[in-house]
Structure 1
């Protein structure tokens, strides 16, 4: 799927960037990070405008994030319960909830930057009662700006080594996510051990 989406950039450019980033913020499994890196590299060679790529990715992130928050505030836990039983998504949702409970608004910022795979789930949890909209938005927008600048900037700076950067980032987030799941599992085991 990644190759198909990336192939659309030369023809549809910013429209594809906007759609994919917005959908990724709502937990649709699309390659937003790789696409944003690629859009940055297209800007480096002059095929896309760097300011427009930055603006488009940021607006898509902000709008998708707000839609996810609104959906969660309207439909609450029902939406998350649907994904929580999934063996693949369950640990991510549990980790996101734990992070939000322990860190509050800081969890929103971290999920929008360093722990970006948890972003949609922290947003849904925030909207379903974890945080007030104003507090969520005050932290989510700077996080979206950092994420956008980071990925577009990396794509722009390392346009000639884009595949290596994408692989490196993919491995990094895989390690971060695996570590988060392991820490969560250890916390649950420790809690059960203490009560046994």
Structure 2
């Protein structure tokens, strides 16, 4: 633990820069505690508060602008990729889009305080064409608020933080193990939540080739697209109706007594959003409901046609 503290003291700004950059790029390595600790160590005179703040802000801006450019170039696909690597995969795109569409670029000011929001919001800003100048302005304000609040808390409670660090340092390797254990517990909890969520969504699926055959039959299924508005810009499966997982299902006009199937698709890992809506429909009496394996990505990869909005 003493080695770790020496590392922070000698390479504090580089350590902060790398930690913030990696977290904002999507790695599950919390940077806020690092900023709090380095803020508490300001009184040791190894670096100044303005330099520490600038380091955190620049690292965050580099990562956020990279996601912004990825969103501008690849559109909704990059947000789907973000959810695939997320520890909370289901609704990160949908929730982020809802907040961003309501408050606009100003939502970036608080984005970093919301787990999983910052990276997706940056990519979304690029995907929907937010001007780069406006994005940088609000993202900078958000980075300053986020980094500044951590540094302020660290300096405000410097005595308590220093005492805690001294205790961990006195524990030697046991202090390192304690910190490592806390981080492992955090990751394990997130993984378990993800595992249980996906386990709850296990059900029969339909392949894109099977869906294509149903569309060509005399009794085509009801198809529901549950993707976000941005994701639908690339087109929908022919005949698909749009519905959100959170919509009032009473608006859905399907007779559960008929033999018509209901096929639901999305653009999310493990068809999470589609499976959630499928379960809700089953609870209302619709027995022939299946998510589309691979979603819209599998449909496009197989070369099947889509229709524009």
Whether the 8 Å contact between 2:82 and 2:120 is mirrored in structure 1 is no
Contact 1:69 1:124 in 2 (8 A): yes
Tell me what 1:195 maps to.
Answer: 251
Per the TM alignment, residue 43 of structure 1 is displaced from its structure 2 partner at its CA by 1.0
Alignment match, 2:69? 70
Task: Give the whole-Å Cα distance in 1 for the aligned partners of 2:109 and 2:46.
Answer: 31
What is the CA–CA distance in structure 2 between the aligned matches of 1:69 and 1:5, rounded to whole Å? 33
Separation in 1 of the partners of 2:155 and 2:107?
Answer: 28
**Greater relative contact order (Cα 8 A, min sep 6): structure 1 or 2?**
1
Q: Counterpart of 2:158?
A: 159
Is 1:27–1:121's contact at 8 Å kept on the other side of the alignment? no
CA distance in 1, matches of 2:114, 2:11: 29
Q: Please, which moves more after superposition, 67-76 or 11-20?
A: 67-76
Q: Does 1:42 align with 2:37?
A: no
Aligned equivalents of 1:12 and 1:68: distance in 2?
27
Provide structure 1 residue ranges, at least 5 long, that are not aligned to the other structure: 164-187
- Total equivalences in the alignment: 169
The corresponding residue for 2:97 is 97
Partner secondary structure for residue 128 of structure 2: helix
Alpha-carbon RMSD: 2.7
1:66-108 deviation line (CA, Å, top 9, x unaligned) = 2221222223222221233566233233211111112112222
Give 3-state SS (helix, strand or coil) of 2:91's partner: helix
The 3-state SS of whatever aligns with 2:101 is: helix
- TM-score in terms of structure 2 length: 0.49
In structure 2, the CA distance between the partners of 1:154 and 1:161, relative to structure 1 (3 Å rule), is same
Q: Secondary structure at the match of 1:131?
A: coil
CA contact (8 A) 1:76 1:128 kept: yes
1:46-57 aligned at under 5 Å gives the runs: 46-57=45-56
Q: Does the alignment pair 1:150 with 2:149?
A: yes
How far off its partner does 1:32 sit? 1.0
The structure carrying a bigger helix percent of its residues is: 1
- Which sections of structure 2, spanning at least 5 residues, go unmatched? 165-243, 253-309
TM-score (norm 1): 0.73
